[in-house]
Structure 1
Amino acid sequence: MPTIEDVAKEANVSIATVSRVLNNSGYVSERTKMKVWSAIKKLNYKPKLSAASLARHKQVFRVGICESKRLQKMERESFTPEFYSVILTALIETGTTYGLSFYKTNLDAPEEHDAYILLGGDTTIETIKMYKDMKKPFLLLDHYIPGQKVDCIVSNGYDGAYYAVNYLIEKGFKKIVHVHGPLNSYGFRSRYEGYTMAMTEAGLFPRYFEYDDVNDNMNDVIGIILRNYGVPDAIFASNDITAMRVIRELKKRGLNIPQDVSVIGFDDIISAEKFDPPLTTVKVFKDEMGSLAAKRIYELIVKQDPHPIVISLFTKFVKRKSSI
């Protein structure tokens, strides 16, 4: 049987780092965490549980990971967004220590399981009603719908966007554009609202342009911005994938980043640091979102603290070279 020492050797990290990843304690970069989780999976390592943990893990619970049609479409095209890859890795690995077994299923027609995690921003009020009628524990991961009073794990996009836009304003920028995803997603909407508040408080006029990341209309979006608004001082994007597409399209038109236009993303996915130029962004603690979702769905299954809660993780601004 593989040991924690074997995992550390495979991942080329210390035993203490593996322990911190397993226990979600202390700081470990997402890149290193993914290396450790990959080694754990490759070696089929099973962490030893304490006697107290073993007592509560007498039963294995089946949990459905309910994916929207949008996410399923991306997977069929062999593309799982980095954002959700990190969340799912932490969710599954943490859930294993709680006796949880995960199965991907359809959001709108789920298979029979003990509990459900509804992933992404496509869940509607009608979908929530269906899950409530099933009388099974469930939670929303990376989504929140006001008034529904169901468990949610989200990042605080409003606060992160507000901070990032104020950073640009303090640099003296006035023409700050927001390129966002579909606003039915709580994550995109909260970032939109944080941008709006920062601009409004500064006496600046907000400018919004929606990007369709499934059909990729960024060429049209940047064309409209430049024709109708001119070259902006800065563009704040609702996620890193959008920010990267913004930069590529601006470069095609001969604009330099950040000399001509500063660009800030959101999420801090693994590839953001290696992008050209390295992306200034707002870090979402994705691994902690996954870990907290596993712990919370376990609590709901065993009826521990069953009153619905919203867990909102604050973000962290990460300055790199795509902005002044």
Structure 2
Amino acid sequence: MANSQRPSMADVAALAGVSAQTVSRVVNASPRVDPETRHRVEAALARSGYRVHRAARALRTGRTGIIGAVVSTLATVGNSLMLQSVVDEASVRGYSVVIARIGTDGPAEAFERLREQGVDGAIVVNEASALLRDVALPDELRLVVVDSPPDPRYAGIETAHADGSAAATRHLLELGHRTIAHIAGPDSSYAAAERERGWRETLTAAGCAPGPLVRAQWTSASGFEAGGSLMDVGTATAVVVANDQMALGVLRAATERGIRVPERLSVVGFDDVDDAANYSPALTTVHQPFDELGRRAVAAVLGDAEPGSREVVAAPLVVRASTGAIIARA
């Protein structure tokens, strides 16, 4: 803004080309705004530096301006990126985020901590979703869960994990590969299971036997170990890896064994983290749109999304230098 005064709703409305009433609806998470207009207003809010007066909004709407985020760990890149996108989107809307980590006492304690802080709803992030199975959930707390099987108790948001993995596998098949391995994530992970399903079903449909498969733990160190075991067997000419961190470990394992990528081994990751384009070689990967996932999760928890409703966000393949056609082994 040109002046030094705190921007008003009218300023934001002029910037977005909408009415002040429309800005108010977006700020207060009203469902009566179409997605394109909401996105334009949110961009104007961010550009203007507009900040919601939380106390006034609480009196007007009965909301505290606080969202809960339930996590099991922030040690994995996917969880951290997802949480960052939730915090960013909440900030644009004038909301704060309180983090509750699920500890040894299970989800109930995390939900109780959020209830004590009067959150307006909670978003369960990625790997924490597995801990909700067969657990009683608080009826009075609006929940949106990221990456979970369909459940009538809460609204769900997820990446099209199986479709993204299927696209990666088809890409390798089109390059002439027929023995395509998979390095999967932990067996407790819904996202890992879906990525494995996309790989397996695509190979089966093409008349190729799926495998070999090695399970790892989302880290580059576990990817290095899993990739090394696959290369020591030596049957696969390509590998679909369930995340970019593990793919980085695979690239290191290949380098240490003198196996050139992609001439002798093609490697595909999943997530498209910022560093993926700077791996050596640059990593072909499936783009997981964390910013869009965060936007939709926050919109769902503030917009009173119906329990049992579900949104799926597309995950396109990004082709770079780590995949190529088979070259005769030397």
* TM class, shorter-length: 0.7 to 0.9
1:213 equivalent to 2:208? Answer: no
Is residue 312 from structure 1 mapped to residue 317 from structure 2 by the alignment?
A: no
* Deviations 1:14-36 (CA, angstroms, capped at 9, x unpaired): x99xxxxx9646xxxxxxx9xxx
What SS does the corresponding residue of 1:154 show, helix, strand or coil? strand
1:57, 1:86 → 2: CA distance? 30
User: Of 217, 222, 229, which aligns to 2:227?
Assistant: 222
| 2:174 aligned partner, one-letter code | E
Q: Is the 8 A contact 2:225 2:249 kept in 1?
A: no
TM (norm. structure 1) is 0.75
Q: Does 1:181 align with 2:181?
A: no
Deviation by residue 1:91-137 (Cα, 9 ceiling, x = unmatched): 2232234443211112332113422111122433655633x235211
The corresponding residue for 1:284 is: 288
Query: Which residue of structure 1 lines up, in the alignment, with residue 127 of structure 2?
Result: 121
Q: State the AA in 1 paired with 2:49.
A: K
TM-score if structure 2 supplies the norm length? 0.73
Q: Distance in 1 between matches of 2:3 and 2:214?
A: 51
Q: Distance in 1 between matches of 2:263 and 2:89?
A: 43
Alignment partners' CA distance in 2, 1:84 and 1:122: 9
Taking structure 1 as reference, are residues 194 and 3 closer, same or farther at Cα in structure 2, changes over 3 Å only? farther
SS at match of 2:271: coil
Query: What count of residue pairs does the alignment treat as equivalent?
Result: 275
* Structure 2 equivalent of residue 234 of structure 1: 238
Superposition deviation, residue 146 in structure 1: 4.0
Any idea what SS the aligned residue of 2:141 has?
coil
Structure with max Cα Rg: 2
Which is further off, 121-130 or 257-266? 121-130
- 1:46 maps to which of 41, 49, 53: 49
- Higher relative contact order (CA closer than 8 Å, sequence separation 6+): 1
- Tell me the distance in 2 between the aligned counterparts of 1:187 and 1:155: 8
Distance 1:269 1:168, change over 3 A: same
Letter in 1 for 2:298: A
Q: 1:199 aligns with which of 203, 214, 232?
A: 203
Determine the C-alpha separation between the residues in 2 that align with 1:139 and 1:128: 17
Q: Of 254, 258, 270, which aligns to 1:266?
A: 270
- Of residues 151, 163, 166, the one that matches 1:162 is 166
Contact 2:270 2:287 (C-alpha < 8 Å) held by counterparts: yes
Structure 2 unmatched ranges of 5 or more: 5-14, 17-36, 325-330
Compared CA separation, residues 24 and 183, structure 1 to 2 (3 A): farther
Distance 1:129 1:3, change over 3 A: farther
Q: 1:94 to 1:173 in 2, by over 3 A?
A: same
User: 2:39 and 2:281 mapped to 1: Cα distance?
Assistant: 31
Query: Do residues 105 (structure 1) and 77 (structure 2) align?
Result: no
1:195: Cα distance to partner?
A: 0.3
Change in 2 beyond 3 A, CA 1:88/1:311? same
What runs of 5+ residues in structure 1 fail to find an aligned partner?
5-14, 17-21, 26-32, 34-39, 75-79
2:82 to 82, 87, 95: 87
Say if 1:91 and 1:290, in contact at 8 Å, map to a contact too. yes
Is the 2:186–2:218 contact (alpha carbons within 8 Å) kept by the matching residues of 1?
no
| Cα shift at 1:231 | 4.6
Distance 2:152 2:307 in 1: 13
Partner secondary structure for residue 127 of structure 2: coil
Q: Kindly tell me: are residues 60 and 46 of structure 1, through their superposed partners in 2, closer, same or farther at Cα, counting changes over 3 Å?
A: farther
What amino acid does structure 2 have at the position aligned with 1:210?
A: R
Q: Aligned partners of 1:209, 1:3: CA distance in 2, in Å?
A: 59
| AA in 2 matched with 1:144 | S
CA contact under 8 A between 2:85 and 2:294: conserved in structure 1? Answer: yes
1:244 is matched with which residue: 224, 245, 248? Answer: 248
Whole-angstrom distance in 2 between the partners of 1:214 and 1:240: 9
Deviation at 1:164, TM superposition (A): 1.2
Distance 1:103 1:218, change over 3 A: same
RMSD after superposition: 3.2
Instruction: Please give the per-residue CA displacement for 1:176-215, whole angstroms capped at 9, x wherever unaligned.
Output: 1001111321111111000001110111111111012359
Q: Which amino acid aligns with 1:226?
A: M
1:286-309 Cα distance to aligned partner (Å, 9 max, x none) = 100001111111012xxxx53431
**Which SS does the other structure have where 1:322 is aligned?**
coil
Aligned to 1:19: none
Task: Give the structure 2 partner of residue 29 of structure 1.
Answer: none
Q: CA deviation at 1:62?
A: 2.2
Cα shift at 1:311: 0.7
Q: Deviations over 1:264-320 (max 9, x none)?
A: 1111111111111111011111100001111111012xxxx5343111001111111
